[in-house]
């Protein structure tokens, strides 16, 4: 699917998931929401999804985009971090060509700063597969289910499956 179609579909998914959606400079899209659950130890995370498109995605590009998305989100909502508030960022890159290093980065890396973290996602626009962190982070573990639910709302297609091991 082309960039415009990807952004339009993602915008609809964000709205359906209860995010306040706004265009972001440079042809990107943001979705924001703030939720409160007692089981989250009375912390109110500001969940911010920053969606971009690219012709190609690799690990270096994913790292740069994740850092920029986290910095931008902190500039918007980070002034109260640590006071029963935090920022959870989901940087999403929808690319026409997804390098294996981008998939590994998304599956293995979380970007953390004080009371903030980014959970990167890469989506292959050709087939709709997505990749995001597959582990069980210990820091911020109470948010794992919530973050996966938000990622599923944006990247609804089947997750990228690992290739079967070669027999030999």
Look at residue 66 in the predicted model and tell me its pLDDT. Answer: 95
Domain ranges in the chain? 3-154
pTM of the model: 0.79
Q: Which of 146, 160, 156 minimizes the C-alpha distance to 57?
A: 160
Give the mean pLDDT of 144-162: 65
Long-range CB contact pairs, 64-73, < 8 A, 24+:
65/91, 65/93, 65/120, 66/91, 66/109, 66/111, 66/118, 66/120, 67/111, 67/118, 69/118, 70/111, 70/113, 70/116, 70/117, 70/118, 73/46, 73/48, 73/116, 73/118
Number of C-beta neighbours around residue 129 at 10 A: 17
Hunting for tokens 């910095």 — which residue is that? Answer: 71
DSSP state of 78: G
pLDDT digits (tens, 9 = 90+) for 134-150: 776 555 555 667 677 87
pLDDT digits (tens, 9 = 90+) for 94-130: 999 999 999 999 999 888 776 677 889 999 999 989 9
pLDDT digits (tens, 9 = 90+) for 18-53: 889 998 777 889 888 876 554 445 455 678 889 999
């Amino acid at each position: 699917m082309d960039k415009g179609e990807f952004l339009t579909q993602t915008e609809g998914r964000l709205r359906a998931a209860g995010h306040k959606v706004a265009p972001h400079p440079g042809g990107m899209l943001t979705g924001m929401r703030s939720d409160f659950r007692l089981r989250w130890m009375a912390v109110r995370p500001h969940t911010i999804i920053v969606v971009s498109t690219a012709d190609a995605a690799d690990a270096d590009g994913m790292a740069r985009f994740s850092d920029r998305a986290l910095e931008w989100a902190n500039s918007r909502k980070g002034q109260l971090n640590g006071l029963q508030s935090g920022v959870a960022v989901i940087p999403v890159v929808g690319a026409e060509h997804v390098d294996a290093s981008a998939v590994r980065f998304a599956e293995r890396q979380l970007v953390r700063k004080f009371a903030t973290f980014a959970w990167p996602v890469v989506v292959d626009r050709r087939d709709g597969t997505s990749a995001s962190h597959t582990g069980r982070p210990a820091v911020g573990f109470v948010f794992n289910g919530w973050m996966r639910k938000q990622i599923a709302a944006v990247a609804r297609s089947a997750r990228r499956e690992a290739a079967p091991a070669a027999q030999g």
